[in-house]
Amino acid sequence: MANALLAASFIDEARLRSHLGRDAGAEDDIETRLVWACNRAIVWMETRTARRLKARNHRTQVTTTTSGSTVADATSIVVASTASLKAGDDVLCVGLDVGVTVQSITSATAFVPSKKVLATIASGTIMTFGSKPLVVRVDDDRPEALYCPESPVLAANLFALYFVDGGGVRSAVPLTYMDLEEPTGRLVLNGIGGLSGPFGAGRYEFECRAGYEQPSATALGDAREWEMLCAIQLRTAEVFFTDDKQLRGRASTLTVGGTSLSGAEAMPADIESALRPFWRVGA
């Protein structure tokens, strides 16, 4: 069972525990089973919808080094420079938990991770930020619009668009010449500077933050969709938690001609119905 909550999760184990009416520490390994159910639920939801749901950054990885030693339980990390970092970036480094992201950037040389430091990080340690861009390949049809593979994406969160030619040369496409339809990620040339569609054949790389965002004091977010997805994950996690608790759960076995086939029954209809509006178009 997993013991770290996935960054893609809309809920945490405390919310699921409250939803299920369970007391903390009242059962053996209750926290581990709650985290497992949360993780299994969001993995199933993203597999079922064929898309990433919770907002996350999609950027080419960058690196920097730590400045000074960072002790366990620290809530801030000092690095050589935060110039190439963005809030929401994935962070990879020895001494950090799985799934840590940049919660906020507090200065030119410091940032706050989404989870406390697990173990001491020595001075000069290389830290890696980001993941990889989203890729769209355009064939000879030369479309009038490009669609970001994940959505929604705010114009402010479309960090860059690159065109990669057949030789692998990467060139920035000026976003000044683009109009973005935020809910769908549809991008069109707006004619400014004499540029208009269609887009040329080749590989395009979107560097952006895409997906449903939690509302906060500084961002409107996607309140309606966020609450819907929280509710769907709670219900889905409830099913997985019950399966685990009952051991047999929804598993079923069919014997035909001496051969046994094992599988799992479909998710309850209310979950499937609630999730259907979030499916990727064409999935």
| CA trace torsion 35, 41, 43, 48 (10° rounding) | 180
Please name the helix (run of DSSP H) or strand (run of DSSP E) that holds residue 261, with its range, or none. Answer: strand 259-264
150 and 134 in contact (C-beta within 8 Å)?
yes
| 3-class DSSP assignment, residue 112 | strand
The dihedral region occupied by 209, where left means phi > 0, alpha psi between -120 and 50, and beta the remainder, is: beta
CA dist 207 and 40 (Å) reads: 28
CA dist 273 and 267 (Å) reads: 10
Buried/exposed 118-152: b ≥16 CB within 10 Å, e otherwise? eeebeeebebebbeebbebebeeeeeebbebbbbb
Alpha helices by DSSP H, listed for the chain, are: 13-20, 30-49, 223-246, 269-275
190 and 200 in contact (C-beta within 8 Å)?
no
pLDDT digits (tens, 9 = 90+) for 104-119: 999 999 999 999 999 9
CA dist 115 and 234 (Å) reads: 22
pLDDT digits (tens, 9 = 90+) for 22-69: 887 777 788 999 999 999 999 999 999 999 999 999 999 999 999 999
pLDDT score at 261? 40
Q: Of 150, 157, 158, 185, give the one whose Cα is nearest residue 174.
A: 158
| pTM for the structure as a whole | 0.84
Q: From first to last of its 283 residues, what are the pLDDT tens digits of the chain? A: 347 889 899 999 999 999 999 887 777 788 999 999 999 999 999 999 999 999 999 999 999 999 999 999 999 999 999 999 999 999 999 999 988 999 999 999 999 999 999 999 999 999 999 999 999 998 877 788 899 999 999 999 999 999 998 888 999 988 888 899 999 999 988 765 555 566 888 899 999 999 999 998 888 899 999 999 999 999 999 999 998 876 554 555 444 444 444 445 689 999 999 999 999 876 5
